[in-house]
Structure 1
Amino acid sequence: MELESIYKKLQIQDMNQMQKSTYKAAEQKQDIVLLSPTGSGKTLAFLFPVLRNLKKNVQGVQALILVPARELALQIEQVFKSMGTDFKVSVCYGGHDKKIEVNNLTEAPAVLIGTPGRVTYHVRNHNFDPTTIRTLVLDEFDKALELGFHDDMEFIIGSLKGVTQRILTSATVMENIPSFTGLKHEKIISFLKENEVKPDIQLRKVMTTPEEKLNTLFSLVCKIGNKRTLIFCNHRDAVDRISELLHQMGIARETFHGGMEQDERERALLKFRNDSARILITTDLAARGLDIPEVESIVHYQLPPKEDAFIHRNGRTARMNAKGFVYLIMTEEEQFSFIKSNTPEESVAGFHTIPEKTPYQTIYISAGKKDKVNKVDIVGYLIKKGELQKEDVGIIEVKDTTSYVAVARNKVSSVLKKLQNEKLKGKKVKMEIAY
């Protein structure tokens, strides 16, 4: 395996220490339990050993990666594709067209990434042969158990008869790992303590009444201003309610929860990443395992019932030695064992000024990788034909049949006008603001 050329494709110099330790420990096909914080690079830590185990000209699925969420599956698929190997990879997850997945499995991929429920469906329907799998990865295993995937995972693992290496990853220490995982003489690699520089998180209570809760949140958003913020709710309807309020107030925001279509969720994360929106309103779905940037403020519009969920939500801020602020919107009646009574209070009275608009807006382009379009093509198109300056173009994400590009907000309408009748790589494309 040519590591140097893969590093180049991934645009990294080398593996980090955690990835090196995992790669070395996995050398002898030993079972591994990798404990490392969210955002530390666990995906590459298990993908390098997975890749080393793959054999060319072998029929059937060779590696299975089970994950608790579809976003995580798509993220891992993206990273694997970025490694630029000749091995086929497929994903399967709830909400994805089963026919497409069955077709992809007809000519079995070397690597299959999926959520437990959907992989169970394919195993039960004999859409692929589980006995050809040699490497099993259980990513974010603690989260998968938390979400109730115990039975599906037990069924899937029970059908794997040829596994020679198992890699389990978790962001928390696990007291008891269920026996159904099949781990034997596993080596535990823990980077939890070594990375445990106490994050500088400032907790603040924002006291309110049930009737005033939405208004209090609006005042808090005005006080926080134009900083990147995650607003956590326990329920989808609360996410939608807050989204509607902020939309009415003219504040750019995105929403993210399990009731949304997959492409809607992907678009929301994309716009949060590229600075088209600096507020993401979400359920606990965004607390872990997603590719979203560092945030400066966390708002608990509804506090979770368990401390674990509270900790994971807060883990989205104060990374990389930065300071983070966590606001708890609470009523006098609410009591949580994990919230200290002496937590300082924050007043939001009198804050009504809408935060200034985000620097970018996202433009949708109806062409992607399958049209042989890449980032360089898009930059050239926007600068030469759209007459933009280099600094007017932000993050570009090219997908299979579509692309999304962040463009300076004050230039969006003029660039759309200029490109109305222009062609991208000789092809007429549709361009519009991505909503």
Structure 2
Amino acid sequence: MQKTTFSIENTLSNLQIEALNEMQQASLEANKTSNEVVLLADTGSGKTLAFLLPVTQLLEKKPVTQALIIVPSRELALQIELVFKRMGTGFKITCCYGGHKRETEENNLLQAPELIVGTPGRLADHIRRGNITTTHIASLVLDEFDKSLEQGFEDEMSFIIQSLPAVKKRILTSATEAVEVPPFVGLQEPVKLNFLTGEKSPALAVQQVRSDDRDKSDTLFRLICALGNRSTIIFCNQREFVEEVSASLKDKGIVNVFYHGAMEQQERDSALCKFRNGSSNVLVTTDLAARGLDIPNIRYIIHYQLPPNQESFTHRNGRTARMDASGTAILILAPHEYLPEYITPPPATIELPASPVLPQKPVWTTLFVGAGKKDKVNKVDIVGFLANKGQLKKEDIGLIEVKDFFSFVAIRKSHASHTITLIKNEKIKNKKVKIDIAK
């Protein structure tokens, strides 16, 4: 069967990347000579492309699944799907994860994609139901395999791998060296590429703020005021704290969104979309967002609650100072709290202004559109609809994200009320669709 016209040069052009970094180049070379590669590299260093390129080189343009990528979270699965689509390879990818309808994925799997990415539980479920044909899967990637083991997916991963009779290539990636690879993975003599620096990014600055009281909410508010209208993630250790902190900031006039594992998928999508498109510059979250989220230009990481361990500290900080960008991680310490011993040297202390000034509110707001890919609605349709029916100029329309059954679109907040009035009785592609400010 003919291979598709895939080239690394075209892929880099599509991704707007000038050249591969040292780790990505080493992965390509190792995968040419070995079918077992373990890649250890820091968070944010470009591991996704480091395994997608060699896997894609082995794909053929035919309607059978030839490669499987197992990841620990839906966010990481969606991120890999996004990167793969941007690569423009011509191959089909299907993303499988819990938290939304299985039927949607079953329909996507009817015509077998060349590549599948997903979480262990949902992939195992599809294999048991016969929705995924495993007989031609020759390439297996376990991305962030340490996290999958840590989260207790060992049984599902073992079942999946035992269900793959034709696997020839195995690629494992991790941002930590500490985990032993279980025998069921089937590694014999892997080539290990270790690009872990053991150091924080040279572009990452670490600072601390001292709070006068145990309840650090006022210190957090004053800190955000001091930082200004910049993209910021605030990390807490428990879901209940996430919502409390978010509500406290909202009461004080700070626009923010929150994100944690107990939310419905649409709520998660909405929160992340608002953060990505600038409708909110502040995201309050748990360590769920410490991996798998690749949102560019995050300037600040705030450890509102101290990370439980060094690994958590590292992964949280990995959301900023990615690739060549700079970023700052800030720890807030109450009077009874001490700096963790693994943070050396002691970070510089920030002195906050006595009189906080609220940062400027975001100029964007997010519309929810009740139609998506399955309704044959795309970004061009949405732009045309908002321009023609909503009287918006191109510069008044921001980032658009089209999901399976709904979409999110950023528009200038100053035009939102008028636009919604104009479009409330209009149709997209001859269909009446719910459109409102995203919740």
State the distance in 2 between where 1:126 and 1:380 align. 41
How far is 1:223 from its partner? 2.2
Q: 2:157 aligns with which of 153, 156, 174?
A: 153
Q: 1:246 aligns with which of 245, 249, 267?
A: 249
Q: How many residues align?
A: 433
With over 3 angstroms needed to count, the CA separation of the structure-2 counterparts of 1:6 and 1:429, relative to structure 1, is farther
1:179 corresponds to 2:183: yes
Can you give the 5+ residue segments of structure 2 that lack an aligned partner in the other structure?
Answer: none
Partner of 2:298: 295
With over 3 angstroms needed to count, the CA separation of the structure-2 counterparts of 1:184 and 1:87, relative to structure 1, is same
Partner of 1:36: 41
Q: One-letter code of the match for 1:114?
A: G
1:263 corresponds to 2:266: yes
Instruction: Note if contact 2:206-2:347 (Cα within 8 Å) is conserved in structure 1.
Output: no
1:215-238: CA deviation from partner (whole Å, max 9, x where unpaired): 222222222221111100000000
How far is 1:316 from its partner? 1.9
Matches of residues 40-51 of structure 1 in structure 2 within 5 Å?
40-51=45-56
Q: 1:118 aligns with which of 114, 122, 126?
A: 122
Q: One-letter code of the match for 2:282?
A: I
* TM score, norm. by length of structure 1: 0.88
Q: One-letter code of the match for 1:218?
A: F
How far is 1:309 from its partner? 0.6
With over 3 angstroms needed to count, the CA separation of the structure-2 counterparts of 1:147 and 1:220, relative to structure 1, is same
Q: 1:23 aligns with which of 15, 28, 31?
A: 28
Matches of residues 27-176 of structure 1 in structure 2 within 5 Å?
27-28=32-33, 30-57=35-62, 59=64, 61-84=65-88, 87-102=91-106, 104-105=108-109, 108-124=112-128, 127-174=131-178, 176=180
1:400 corresponds to 2:404: yes
State the distance in 2 between where 1:260 and 1:360 align. 24
With over 3 angstroms needed to count, the CA separation of the structure-2 counterparts of 1:11 and 1:197, relative to structure 1, is closer
* TM score, norm. by length of structure 2: 0.87
CA RMSD of aligned residues (A): 3.0
Instruction: Note if contact 1:208-1:329 (Cα within 8 Å) is conserved in structure 2.
Output: no
State the distance in 1 between where 2:385 and 2:104 align. 33
1:28-66: CA deviation from partner (whole Å, max 9, x where unpaired): 56212223333333223322332332344465x422210
Structure 1 residue matching 2:166: 3-state secondary structure = coil
State the distance in 2 between where 1:317 and 1:305 align. 19
Instruction: Note if contact 2:42-2:175 (Cα within 8 Å) is conserved in structure 1.
Output: yes
1:237 corresponds to 2:240: yes
Q: One-letter code of the match for 2:47?
A: K
Instruction: Note if contact 2:305-2:332 (Cα within 8 Å) is conserved in structure 1.
Output: yes
Structure 1 residue matching 2:121: 3-state secondary structure = helix
State the distance in 1 between where 2:386 and 2:306 align. 44
Q: One-letter code of the match for 2:290?
A: A
With over 3 angstroms needed to count, the CA separation of the structure-2 counterparts of 1:390 and 1:311, relative to structure 1, is same
Moved more, 305-314 or 102-111: 102-111
State the distance in 1 between where 2:223 and 2:16 align. 39
1:319-364: CA deviation from partner (whole Å, max 9, x where unpaired): 3454433222222322332245844333446344322211211112
With over 3 angstroms needed to count, the CA separation of the structure-2 counterparts of 1:434 and 1:193, relative to structure 1, is same
1:380 corresponds to 2:381: no
Q: One-letter code of the match for 1:49?
A: P
